[in-house]
Amino acid sequence: MTEYPEDFRCGYIAVVGRPNVGKSTLINTIIGEKVSITSKKPQTTRNRVLGVVTNDKAQFIFVDTPGFQTKYGNALIRGMNRSVRSTLGETDAVVLVIESSGWKSADEKVLELISPQAKNVILAINKVDLMKDRDALLPLMAQSMAKFPFAAIVPVCAEKGKQVSDLMAEIEKLLPENPPFFDPDIYTDKSPRFLAAEIIREKAFRLLGDELPYGIAVTIDKWSEDDKRAEIIATLIVEREAHKGIVIGAQGEKLREISRLARADIGEMLGKNVYLEVWVRVRKGWNDDARALKTLGYE
């Protein structure tokens, strides 16, 4: 990987909003078709990486928040909304999208899913091209600010990509200082291997995020599959000896849980049974070592 500056930022971003406000359009405009990852049943996996954008100063990792549903009020959906709430709690920035025509009750419901204390929520007012009266924008922004202490409010036109760079600049401010978690050369790869590595990394991050401040890398060391079954051996690579114990957990409990969750998601993605073995290895300073990053390739 190319050099990155000391104050490089990297973090996770969720784009949320009621149906039809233009979330997919916005995400596609930002990340481009080439990196959007699709899976057979996306709604069953939380926090899947949709795409990664890297510039000179930051890496933006957009994650999915499936189950962000306000249409139906049944118990299942309520349960999913709870999980969405925890997903949002784990992201560094949340972009709430509404339409320029103003707040609807469904938008309010989405806002209710966000913690009122959150300081990392940006409001994107989309479809400004449809506004007949641009002067209505200021009152709408003031009204929005009265509803929630948004970190920023950015009017955009997702379809034409207008002011999307302003939105990115606001998101960037919310991302923590981190080295890039993804090699920009690798994330465009949509191979099952890459996705499997990402699933494992995501599970580790989910279970250990608070304890491990820096990224964890994953290598796929063995991959063999036939029609019915895949056999995968993977390694979680941590930076310090002390981190190894954290990842493994008491009696191996954390690592087992990471493997169990990852195996289920990989199985679902591939549509076959998966045998998954996950090992942990210490690789000092892997974040700084260009050569190491190359061999962490997911090809």
Check binding of 55 to ligand GTP (CB under 6 A): no
Q: Does the footprint of ligand GTP cover residue 101 (CB under 6 A)? A: no
Alpha-carbon distance 100 to 102, whole Å? 5
Single out the residue of 5, 6, 11 nearest to residue 182, CA to CA: 11
Q: Does 17 bind ligand GTP (CB under 6 A)?
A: yes
Among residues 123, 119, 120, 100, the alpha carbon closest in space to that of 110 is found at 123
Tell whether residue 24 is a contact of ligand GTP (CB under 6 A): yes
Alpha-carbon torsion angle 99, 102, 105, 106, nearest 10: 0
Report if residue 127 touches ligand GTP, rule: CB under 6 A: yes
11 vs 17 by CB, closer to ligand GTP: 17
90, 159, 172, 268: which one contacts ligand GTP (CB under 6 A)?
159
- Known binding residue 67? Answer is yes
Q: Report the residue number, 21 or 58, with the smaller CB distance to ligand GTP.
A: 21
| Of 21-29, 104-112, 198-206, 285-293: span binding ligand GTP (CB under 6 A) | 21-29
Q: Give the Cα separation of 21 and 19 in Å (integer).
A: 6
Q: Which residues contact 259 (CB under 8 A, 6 or more apart)?
A: 276, 277, 278
> Does 102 contact ligand GTP by CB under 6 A?
no
Phi and psi angles of residue 230, each rounded to the nearest 5 degrees, phi first: -125, 140
**Binding residue for ligand GTP (CB under 6 A) from 121, 123, 157, 216?**
157
Residue corresponding to tokens 């580790």:
204
Binding ligand GTP by CB under 6 A: which of 91, 126, 163, 287? Answer: 126
- Residues of span 235-254 touching ligand GTP by CB under 6 A: none
Q: Does 19 bind ligand GTP (CB under 6 A)?
A: yes
Q: What is the 3-state secondary structure (H, E, C) of 19-42?
A: CCCCHHHHHHHHHCHHHCCCCCCH
Single residue of 129, 185, 211, 253 touching ligand GTP by CB under 6 A: 129
Pick from 76, 104, 112, 130 the residue near ligand GTP by CB under 6 A.
130
Q: Which single residue brings its beta carbon nearest to ligand GTP? A: 22
Select the residue interacting with ligand GTP from 154, 158, 204, 262 (CB under 6 A): 158
DSSP string over 214-239 = S--EEEEEEEEE-SSEEEEEEEEEES
Q: Looking at 21, 88, 230, 296, which residue binds ligand GTP (CB under 6 A)?
A: 21
Does residue 84 touch ligand GTP according to CB under 6 A? no
Residue 110 CB, nearest approach to ligand GTP (Å): 10
Six-digit token pair at 40? Answer: 């057979």
Cα 230 from chain centre: 26
Any binding-site annotation on 22? Answer: yes
Q: Which helix (H) or strand (E) holds 276?
A: strand 273-282
Contact between 43 and ligand GTP by CB under 6 A: the answer reads no
Per-residue burial over 12-35, b if 16 or more Cβ lie within 10 Å, else e, is bbbbbbbeebbbebbbbbbbeeeb
- CB 74, min distance to ligand GTP, A: 18
66 assigned ligand-binding residue:
yes
